[in-house]
Amino acid sequence: MKGIRKDVFGVFHDPCSGVEVEVDRYTLTSPSGVEVQVISYGACVSTIVVPDKSGKKDHVTLGFDDMKGYLENSYQGSTIGRCANRIGKGKLTVEGQHYSLSINNNGNHLHGGTGGWDKHVWESHVLDESVVFSRLSPDGEEGYPGAVVAQVKYSLDAGGGLRIDFEAMTTRATPVNMTNHCFFNLAGHAAGQKGILQHIVRVNADHFTPVGQDLIPTGELTPVRDTAYDLRSPTTFGEALPRAPGNGFDHNFCLQFKRRGELELAAYFLHPATGRGLEVYTTEPGVQIYTGNFLPREANKMIGRGGTSYTYQGAFCCEPQNFPDAVNQSNFPSAMCYPGQPYKHSMMYKFFVEK
């Protein structure tokens, strides 16, 4: 591994304090040619560059050249917290007490709310060969009980595997469900929907959690067999998406893990023309597969890196996490974090090139 480089990405004008805060950027490079940049705004992965089978490098995630892009477009590469995914009607009960969270998604609470962890500048430092971000989420932030100290550590190994370790400690019982929200296109960030449809995908899940029209889980755990959600055998997005309701995925898949707490393969993606591949590993029980259904349908509504227009289904997300709305579903794995019992989640984006 080469040394980690640090510079300033931009300036964030904090709307609460009115103070301008510098946003740090760190660059990590592996001998395999993978380059990753992370920034302190949203503890965000801003850049991943991967070579193809001919050695040509390209960005494989959506991203922006400056702070303006990140401020105007949510979740691009960000750390998501305090609770990833949706919580129905923003309601939850903890130890007999009812709480109302901020509402920011069709009457529901999504990805930590209007001021979720993706919308703050985190403290940062280099530790050995890793970059560590941390922040204090105060008691009552977005309606959640308890103060939480959260940490995200990014480490890039020699083979091009980006490991992300999440940890959180709380002063009171509270739900915690952290993940990363990179938007991928292994054909290159500018390849759009055409590039996505060419991807081969496989998800190591034998059940999924059905949702209602509001995308809140019904509470059922349904076998994927004989459904549009059976991605256990390799298929292309081009074949799979037309079979999915609404011609796209935004669903939680229940992983076939035998050992909770150890990194296991959740999903595999390959773009055959470039040879770029991605394996996603996690210690969590679920993974949200999202195919960019809410990216703008019109060109030039979202202008990304290098002036690229990002549009509908021009990228996919693979978000390892606990099940959505787990705080309100008794048969889902618990999403609760308690004092003295730190929350921990490890995941890895492992890149490879198939010749």
Please report, for the chain, the start and end positions of each structural domain, with discontinuous segments joined by +. 5-84+112-180, 192-353
Q: Out of 59, 109, 111, 181, which one is annotated catalytic?
A: 181
Chain segment 338-354, per-residue pLDDT in tens:
999 999 999 999 999 99
* Structure-block tokens of residue 276: 């770029």
192-353 matches 5-84+112-180 in CATH topology: yes
d(CA 339, CA 264): 27
Q: What is the pLDDT of residue 231?
A: 98
Q: What is the pLDDT of residue 14?
A: 83
181 annotated active-site: yes
Do 348 and 179 form a contact (C-beta atoms < 8 A)?
Answer: no
DSSP 175-207: E-B-EE---B-TT-TT-HHHHHHT-EEEE-EEE
Phi, psi at 344, each rounded to 5°: -140, 135
Burial category of 261 from C-beta neighbours within 10 Å (exposed 0-12, middle 13-18, buried 19 and up): exposed
* Structure-block tokens of residue 182: 């990179």
Determine what percent of the chain is predicted with pLDDT higher than 90.
Answer: 94
Q: Which CATH class is domain 192-353?
A: mainly beta
142 annotated active-site: no
How sure is the predictor about 262, in pLDDT bands with cuts at 50, 70 and 90? confident
d(CA 53, CA 308): 23
Question: Does the predicted model carry a pTM greater than 0.85?
Answer: yes
Do 63 and 305 form a contact (C-beta atoms < 8 A)?
Answer: yes
Question: 102-116, 161-175, 252-266: which has the minimum mean pLDDT?
Answer: 252-266
Amino acid letter, residue 239: E
Whole-number average pLDDT of the chain: 96
* Structure-block tokens of residue 196: 């996505």
| Mean pLDDT score, 240-269 | 89
Residue 186 has pLDDT above 90, yes or no: yes
Phi, psi at 306, each rounded to 5°: 65, 20
Phi, psi at 250, each rounded to 5°: -155, 65
Dihedral angle over CA of 301, 303, 307, 308, nearest 10? -80
Residue 79 has pLDDT above 60, yes or no: yes
Q: CB count, 10 Å around CB of 209?
A: 24
Q: Out of 59, 284, 319, 345, which one is annotated catalytic?
A: 319
Binding-site annotation: residue ranges for beta-D-galactose: 85-86, 250
d(CA 17, CA 237): 45
d(CA 115, CA 106): 16
CATH for 5-84+112-180, among 2.70.98.10, 3.50.50.60, 2.40.30.10, 3.30.230.10?
2.70.98.10
Residue 1 has pLDDT above 60, yes or no: no
| Mean pLDDT score, 55-65 | 98
Q: What is the pLDDT of residue 258?
A: 58
Secondary structure E strands in 101-255: 109-110, 123-127, 130-137, 148-156, 161-170, 174-175, 179-180, 200-203, 205-208, 222-223, 235-236, 250-255
Amino acid letter, residue 53: K
Q: What is the pLDDT of residue 260?
A: 64
Of the candidates 34, 45, 44, the residue with the CA atom closest to the CA atom of residue 1: 34
In terms of phi and psi (left: phi > 0; alpha: psi -120 to 50; beta: otherwise), the region of 9 is: alpha
Chain segment 10-31, per-residue pLDDT in tens:
999 987 778 899 999 999 999 9
d(CA 196, CA 203): 16
Amino acid letter, residue 141: E
Question: If you ran DSSP here, which 8-state letter would residue 2 be given?
Answer: P
Chain segment 310-342, per-residue pLDDT in tens:
999 999 999 999 999 999 999 999 999 999 999
Do 60 and 51 form a contact (C-beta atoms < 8 A)?
Answer: no
Chain segment 112-165, per-residue pLDDT in tens:
999 999 999 999 999 999 999 999 999 999 999 999 999 999 999 999 999 999
